[in-house]
Structure 1
Amino acid sequence: MTDEKGRHIITKAHEATFGDVQLDVSDYKMQHVFFQDFPVSLISKVVDADEELSQALAETSPQAITARYGFDYDTDYSHIKWAFIPNVMLLNLNYGGADHHIRMEFNNNSQYYTFTEDEMKQPKAFGSLAKNGITLQLEAIHDGSTLIQRFGYENGNYMHIIFKASPL
């Protein structure tokens, strides 16, 4: 089930929306965060292994990036850790006279976000997270099962994506 903007609807214990970022927390289960209207065209700036793919990405309309998330406690149980695990973004692109099934993989750059239990109970608990940003990193692009390009410091093409929202 989705709402009028196409966002997934679940039974929520808490929800906050900041700009185009929707956060849902429900029953301590693995849930999703949706980053609406991510400008996929930005990725074309770091794709250099396939010029036609880079051009096709430059012309691609904005897409949603989704990430699963989960909560855990740090080792001394004083803070709640919140981790995001990005889902693969799938695109069907036509370039070079053929259809291509592009799979973009992201990772969370080993980022964990921590809150105290009291902070989590506040009405706008996610405000600081939205203001400071959620970080994802582009890891690889595949066409079907074929690796097109890997990304990272060691490859000289690191792409850090930080999602921020306007101040509350």
Structure 2
Amino acid sequence: MASQYSTQIYLDLDGALTSTASMLQIPSVNLQIWGPRLRFSAPISEIENFYSEIKPYLRPFILYGSGDFHHLSAVWMRRIQEPFSLLSFDNHPDWDIRPPRWCCGGWVNRALEYRWLESAQVWGCSNFELNWPHNLFTPRKVLQSGRLQIFSWKERYPKLSICREGAGL
């Protein structure tokens, strides 16, 4: 690992960004043994074991795997020890309250459990989860409190513009 890039790291879970990290000279850690165990979802015990292993490698800028691993964003946040806001750009709100606990579709809820996270915003939602009956699986209390705000594409879901004001569904 090159020390001149101490603010960056590539956590290689699936080889998806190996050439990009190499081209940008971002130091990498081969974690492909973890890839299949963490892809899309994982048990809490696996998440905790993974975090214990990678914690020393975490940096302010983390490049990692394909979109199959974006639920790990809630793990990277753990290194932040002061109040902050989360901003996510995604077609899906990733707010699902159903199991599995650690998965791509519910990682925003894991993030909202973190004590230093003051608020979260998800921009660009234009997916079916915003419509009934799928929106039955939303974290209503945090939406109503304004701590979680969803900013949908107004052009695609004009009736959901209340999400733009943080009122919830």
Per the TM superposition, whether the score is higher than 0.5 is: no
More strand by share: 1
**TM-score of the two chains, using structure 1 as the length reference:** 0.23
* TM-score, normalised via structure 2 length: 0.23
